[in-house]
Amino acid sequence: MAGQKLSPRQKMIGMMYLVLTALLALNVSKEIINAFVTINDSLEVTIGNLSGKNTQAYAAFDKQMQTDAAKTKPFYDKAKVVKKQCDDLYAFVATLKDTLVRVTDAIPAGTQTTPLNQMKKQDDYDEPTRIMCGDKQDGRGFKASELKSRIESFKKSVINTLDVGDRAKFTKRLDELFNTNDPPKTEDGKKSWEMANFYHNPVVATVALLSKIQTDVKNAESEIVTHLLSAISAADFKFDTLAPKVIAPSSYVIEGQEYSADIFVAAMSSTSNPEISVGGSQLQVNGGVGTYKVRASGVGEKKYAGIIKVKDPSDPNKLLELKFENSYIVAKPSASVSADKMNVIYIGVPNPLTVSVPGVPDEKVKAIPTGFTMSPDPKAGRGHFLAEAKGQPGEGKVVVMADFNGKSMQMGDFRFRLKRIPDPVAKVGGKKDGNIPKSALAAQQGIIPTMEGFDFELYPKVLSFKMSRYGKGRDPVEKSNEGGGALTSDMKSIIEQARAGDKILFEYIKVSMPDGTTRTVNSIPLTVQ
């Protein structure tokens, strides 16, 4: 057909078809956008699972260090280096994802980025392309090139950390996970790795691809660290003790959640899986580890037991039976909100609050206040807030929500009384009444309001007061200070002229409070000695 002579009309139709195809290629459907969001969410879950698995591996390393540090340390040191290299690459990709979302949706610096499913410009590809590939035809020299360089450096560093005998195996594996070669065949003008992966892709697709890279980083870390852990005893496989182990991410679960535990033999052969059963039901075993899962129901302690059958090291034809038992706690959904100072929230001042849900990380706990506002306490860290109430006394509450695998669950609501800050107690020379030596009184600078029995650090300010002196056979003398709480020169002169037995009265003391109110506080009757 290409060799046929086309009429002008046919040429025009062909040209229109090409234009329409180009327009369709630019119009990313909502279904595709949603698919990328779903893929990214799944990758985030996988990252969490791999992080938990890696945490268990490092915990096993710590225990091996306690048992036999001399044998474990060479492998432990390598594992720490691998962890550092993985953490660095993972953090760089995380920053890149944050930048893409922030720039695309014009989110101000210092504020939290929007979740991918709530982005305004999910189908935008101009900003991701500009950030990752710039305006060059090969896309090199921008963030995608920096990412490629970091990946290649990461692979070399990790391989150099391993023993020579392990390098070939993991070089091949890392090349499978992180292929940074340019495409062998140029398609749509994309002749570089940068262009093939990041050019003209909507932001959701770019973020999803970066999440996949993070997943690969965690997966590589898991495989290498697990290999290093198993290598500790590879050279001396002979052992004289077999101990069943049950490891659960948490022995405390909320009703309705799934309880999960890994059950395995502490000393095992990588080529021979044990048989593991719980309550008579056989578990699926992979790599020597069987995973027991059961839906948590009913509040209280839940016990379970089982048997591990493994080949006897001294007689492969004989099976050793190792019994084990374990338990976990099922609890009703619960949360804790405590006022760090008192069991009330005082109006006009920051009130420290601590919000927590047992068994749930602080970052997955959300507090929703009513009747007052709450903001994170930067000094105290996660889970700590500053609550501030305004207006009249009354009642407020905090509703606590927790995120369980992407599902939000209400853990309870907590009510607080909103109270007025108590009046301060005015004192002169540390006294609010009674006798005072003339010399001590003359040495004072003024009235000091104190918050007796109040845990908050508040510093009310005296606005004005009146001082009077009454003496036997003497006319009363009065002086006022309308500009603060200091003793004026006239007042000090009156005090200097006082005699033993004279009464000095400080009254009409007005104080400015941190909540914006002005209050008249206690009078201070003193007798000169």
Quote the pLDDT of residue 36: 84
pTM for the full model?
0.43
Please name the residues in contact with 383: beta carbons below 8 A apart, sequence gap of 6 or more.
Answer: 354, 355, 356, 362, 365
Final residue of a domain: which of 331, 355, 383?
A: 331
pLDDT in the model for residue 2: 40
Report the number of distinct structural domains present in the chain: 4
User: Tokens in use for 479?
Assistant: 């002086």
pLDDT of residue 245: 66
**Which secondary-structure segment (H or E) carries 63?**
helix 30-67
Domain boundary among 279, 307, 331: 331
User: What is the helix, strand, coil percentage profile of the chain, to 5?
Assistant: 35, 30, 35
Local structure of residue 287 (DSSP, 8 states):
T
Domain extent for 462: 425-528
Q: Is residue 237 part of a domain?
A: no
- Measure CA of the first residue to CA of the last residue in the chain; give whole Å: 122
Tokens of 373: 């506002």
Residue 305: give its domain's CATH number: 2.60.40.10
Same-domain status, 460 and 405: no
* Token code pair at residue 103: 């720039």
DSSP string of 434-484, one letter each residue:
EEE-HHHHHT--B-EEE-TT--S----EEEEEEEEEE-TTS--EEEEESS-
Per-residue confidence (pLDDT) for residue 32, from 0 to 100? 79
Domain-embedded: residue 82: yes
Residue 347 per-residue DSSP state? B
Is the same domain home to 363 and 392?
A: yes
pLDDT of residue 296: 79
Q: Specify the pLDDT at position 269.
A: 54
Taking 50 as the pLDDT cut, the residues of the chain under it are 1-7, 9-11, 13-14, 16-26, 234-240
Beta-carbon count within 10 A of 142 CB: 18
In terms of domains, do 519 and 458 share one?
yes
The pLDDT assigned to 254 comes to: 61
State the chain's mean pLDDT as an integer.
84
pLDDT at 189: 64
Query: How far is Cα 254 from Cα 256, in angstroms, rounded to an integer?
Result: 6
Same domain as 152, residue 184: yes
In a domain, 8, yes or no: no
Angstrom distances, CA of residue 146 to CA of 92, 95, 101, 211: 10, 13, 18, 17
Boundary-marking domain end, from 231, 252, 271: 231
Same domain, 383 and 254: no
Name the strand (E) or helix (H) holding 149: helix 143-161
Q: How does DSSP assign 192-235, residue by residue?
A: SHHHHHHTT--HHHHHHHHHHHHHHHHHHHHHHHHHHHHHTTTT
